[in-house]
Structure 1
Amino acid sequence: MPIVLITGSAGLIGSEAVEYFANIGYEIVGIDNNMRQYFFGTDGDTAWNSQLLTKKLKNQYTHYDIDIRDNNKIKNVFARYSDNIKLIVHTAAQPSHDWAAKEPQLDFGINANGTLNLLEAMRHYCPNSVFVFMSTNKIYGDQPNHLPLIEKETRWEIDHTHSFQNGIPEKMAIDQCLHSLFGASKLAADILVQEYGKYFNLQTTCLRGGVLTGSKQSGAQLHGFLNYLMKCIMTETPYKIFGYKGKQVRDIIHSKDVVSAIGHIFSSPRIGEVYNLGGGRQSNLSVLEAIELGQKIAQKELDFQYVDQPRRGDHIWYISDTSKLQSHYPDWKLRYTIEEILKEIYEENKERWTNV
């Protein structure tokens, strides 16, 4: 049976990809060692999702509790399935730019070296497969903060005459700016994925995501903005807004729309390609706007504190220009609105978040 290998298989995008490809008939090999719990404590624990997938998919899903930094174990998995592996969806990561400064070597080891291990395994054991890497918009560093931004009542906005008015394109410079150590390690991985495609003629793609969200995310203060915000509203947990008056803007994309894009790429792969992926002009909001909408859905007030110090290297305004992806895959479209996403997070987590 053809196999889809997914790293970070118990995480938000990974678990969504597991179900998506299982539903269309693939056998799934999942790699996830629940490092998210180490990064973020109990809020980040993904064991519940791993157990759910194992129970739900039974013989169609095989789980490996492996650290992607362990090159020998990674090679063993690839050797076992070899050319049966048709697609590799690489979502495993240390995902927080705040956390990375605590343990830079661990961050780089997972994000950069772990990615290198997977690329080498692909090259040797399944070179005809497709490799899709979940990169990040943080590879652009704080470059977007130097755009001409205008402060409005609830958000920052870009000057409507600017060429990036429809969002940040892939041509934005990545040099001479502050990335955070997380951004640097993900950029190293991003370049590796491109290089393995171009140099070895492999079918590799980087997806530079905005805010990826959905009800399956184990959101924490340092990662998973929208999911964690809704959890704080629903459980009456104090929330902190870090800088920019809460007017910083993010584009939002549902995990199902991300995985749909991966499905389109798999059906018609390219060599060493790069796409910005997010909600774009269709789906974006500021922290203040997210709080207002979340309170409306949960019918509760959020207890929040404003800290007049932004996270270092954080974006003031970031909206993805997805026109390149849409031009290459015109059948791919966003299906979820922000309100639908927040309602789903609310409805599907009421029982798990027991304080509601």
Structure 2
Amino acid sequence: MNIALVTGSAGLIGSESVTFFSNKFDLVIGIDNNLRQYFFGKDGNTEWNRSRIQESFSNYKHYSADIRETAELEPIFKEYGADIKVIVHAAAQPSHDWAAKEPFTDFSVNATGTLNLLEMTRLHAPQAVFIFTSTNKVYGDNPNYLPLIEQETRWEIDNNHPYFKNGIDEQHSIDHTKHSVFGASKVAADIMVQEYGRYFGLKTGIFRGGCLTGPNHSGAQLHGFLAYLMKCAITGIHYTIFGYKGKQVRDNIHSHDLVNMFWHFYQNPRSGEVYNAGGGRYANCSMLEAIALCEKITGNKVNFSYSETNRIGDHIWYISDLTKFKSHYPGWDWEYGLEETLVQIHDGIASRLTESHK
């Protein structure tokens, strides 16, 4: 039997992985205990998504295990380990601001949880390909010290800089920088996944995501900005822009395109390899530009205000350079542009809101 195991399986990337792998593996095992609801309240509740994938895929099996507890993980790995071909580790505490409130919880989920999964893999499924969803926050606020220029609707890097053409590459330093508590816990996990590849020889891939987005995101104020912004545009909920004049830039990658990167890596894996993963120059926007797109798609004015206080460690400008991944896996490319992705997000949110009011 060929098995794919996915953590955070009811979240955005986890559920996309379940969908993608459901017709490629005999069984897809999901691990998710809906901790996102604890982090973000009702907006973060992923039960609707768990129910959706359970109803949609007959070869999906769900476990509400806590990745912080090896006692809950080990029975799963002992039962299925020999047949597990790929592990997508997408479970995480993903918010800067939330991490500062509960550093122990943040670190236990992001760092200790990742170590637990790596060790379970080493002991019970050493031939499996281990894919880790890291973050561009491992670079801390180093990108903020690049030569940035203020334009009408966005910050942009000086066009003479090497990063102008394609964005920030994997050689950008992760040292001597302010990461935020969240960024630091993800650095610990990121380095450990590399080490299990380089030291123990496991087939591990680290994907440092920009903004990951898509129609199945349970967007909340503290995480998932495009999904939450679109929800605000649809419902009239107030939205707050934090700092940088609303001109901060992010690249955005559709969850399908990211999981397709995972699939390409799985078919020809490496050990301890690191890739930046985002929308690159193909799909990026500033906060002001995102608001304009949401207003265009919904026909509504977004109810927003501006706060001069930026989030600690937040990026002013970040665009991922995917040159390295594309050179290793030339068959991969983006399928979804920014506006197309936002339309999908709009339709998904509108559909769920309609269902909730029935």
Judge same fold: TM > 0.5, yes or no: yes
Asked if the contact 2:261–2:332 (Cα under 8 Å) also holds between the matched residues in 1, the reply is: yes
Is the contact made by 2:4 and 2:25 (CA closer than 8 Å) also made in structure 1?
no
Q: C-alpha deviations, 1:55-104, integer Å up to 9, x for none?
A: 1113x011000110011111111001011000000000000011100000
Q: What letter corresponds to residue 155 of structure 2 in structure 1?
A: W
* Pair 1:203-2:203 in alignment: yes
Residue 194 of structure 2 corresponds to 194
Question: Hey, what does 1:109 align to over in structure 2?
Answer: 108
The letter of the residue matching 1:163 is P
State the 1:351 CA deviation. 2.5
Three-state SS of the structure 2 residue aligned to 1:67 is: coil
**What are the residue-to-residue correspondences of 1:1-356 with 2, within 5 Å?**
1-58=1-58, 60-165=59-164, 166-354=166-354
Contact 1:203 1:270 survives alignment (8 Å): yes
Q: Deviation at 1:24?
A: 2.2
CA drift of 1:234 comes to 0.2
Deviations 1:154-182 (A, max 9, x none): 00000010111121100001111100000
Task: Tell me if structure 2 keeps the 8 A contact 1:231–1:353.
Answer: no
SS class of match (1:281): coil
Which amino acid is 2:214 matched to? G
TM-score (norm 2): 0.98
What is the identity, as a one-letter code, of the residue corresponding to 1:282? Y
1:348, distance to aligned residue in structure 2 (A): 2.1
Which letter maps to 1:112? A
TM-score by length of 1: 0.98
- 1:30 match: secondary structure: strand
SS in 1 for 2:223: coil
Kindly state the Cα deviation for residue 23 of structure 1 after the two structures are TM-superposed: 2.0
Q: 1-side partners of 2:26 and 2:252: how far apart? A: 28
CA distance in 1, matches of 2:351, 2:284: 28
The 3-state SS of whatever aligns with 2:22 is: helix
For 1:263, the aligned partner's letter is W
Over the matched positions of the two proteins, sequence identity in percent amounts to 58
> Does the Cα contact within 8 Å between 1:235 and 1:353 map onto a contact in 2?
no
Tell me the amino acid that sits aligned with residue 96 of structure 1: S
Aligned partner of 1:113: which letter? T
* Post-superposition CA distance 1:277-312 (Å, at most 9, x none): 000011100000000011000000011010011001
Cα distance in 2 between the residues matched to 1:314 and 1:3? 38
Q: Secondary structure at the match of 2:353?
A: coil
Check the 8 A contact 2:30/2:61 in 1, yes or no: yes
CA-CA distance at 1:261 after TM superposition: 0.3
